[in-house]
Amino acid sequence: MLIVFCAFIGMLLAPSERMTLGLVLASTLGIALVAGAAAALNCLIEQKIDSIMARTRARPLPRGALSSRATLVWSAGLCLAGMAILYFGVNALTAWLTLATFIGYAVIYTVILKPLTPQNIVIGGLSGAMPPVLGWAAMTGEVSGQAWLLTLIIFVWTPPHFWALALYRTREYAAAGVPMLPVTHGSQFTRLHIFLYTWLLTAVTVMPFIIGMSGWIYLVVAIVLDGIFLAYTWLLWKDYSDLAAKKTFKYSITYLSVLFAALLVDHYL
């Protein structure tokens, strides 16, 4: 849902004269279907890992509610349907960018990066950061620097978001053989990098105001959100507990949603 929401924000922020309700609906549906296909394929590839981790062992594949074949067919069907809607109902650029995002997440990140490097979240985060670009391309047929700035915000947000989760799931990731940063470099190292990335995120989130993409409403909301996020990550760094990591992870989701909503409100006011 967060992926679709960020793509939708990209659509509404794009300076397009061809925006219609039908185009927005087709774009949203197409992107949602391909995102669902990527998620299903991810579950198929990682079903053994999912069966080990408490967070994921209740998913349909680990508990035997779905077969691997059914999941593969479902994923392929979703992907084909979404690509058809985007290619024929939106534009070719959006279709190909969405397919590249699908490959980036389901193949490059899940198959190659995740089991090989503790920087999997950082490198593979680009695919998860692409939704605003997809939405922008859907409305304009092109991608501007402003669209890439929205993607940069999500890209920098991704490491503190996922590493906060990994901190209180470290034993599970270790048991599953996934080299997440807390597993390979320890809790203290990870917590410091979460804090540093949050400072970088703070710098990036004021850039829409600096380049004239937004006004004071967005800037004030961004500063407040960043201040709260920095407080969470500072406490996480200095006085760790699983509860603090869980609160930081949950706040990171709220943070991104409210930040993009503020950008939208600021744009139309």
Does 144-269 match 1-141 at the fold level? no
What percent of the chain lies above the pLDDT cut of 90? 81
Tokens of 234: 């500072």
Q: Which residues of 250-262 are buried (b: 16+ CB within 10 A; e: fewer)?
A: ebbeebbeebbeb
Structural domain 144-269, CATH architecture: Up-down Bundle (1.20)
1-141: CATH topology = Tetracycline Repressor; domain 2 (1.10.357)
* Chain-centroid distance, C-alpha 88: 26
Q: What is the pLDDT of residue 119?
A: 87
Alpha-carbon distance of 167 to 179, in angstroms, equals 12
With the C-alpha atoms ordered 53, 56, 62, 63, is the resulting torsion angle positive or negative?
Answer: positive
Residue with tokens 């409403």: 217
pTM of the model: 0.91
| Distance in Å from the first CA to the final CA of the chain | 25
86, 34 in Cβ contact below 8 A? yes
DSSP 106: I
pLDDT of residue 252: 97
Provide Rg for the chain, Cα atoms: 19
Contact (Cβ atoms closer than 8 angstroms) between residue 16 and residue 8: no
Query: For 4, which DSSP code?
Result: H
The pLDDT confidence band at residue 114, using thresholds 50, 70 and 90, is: confident
Binning pLDDT at 50, 70 and 90, where does residue 198 land?
A: very high
Domain boundaries defined on the chain: 1-141, 144-269
- How much is the average pLDDT of 80-93? 97
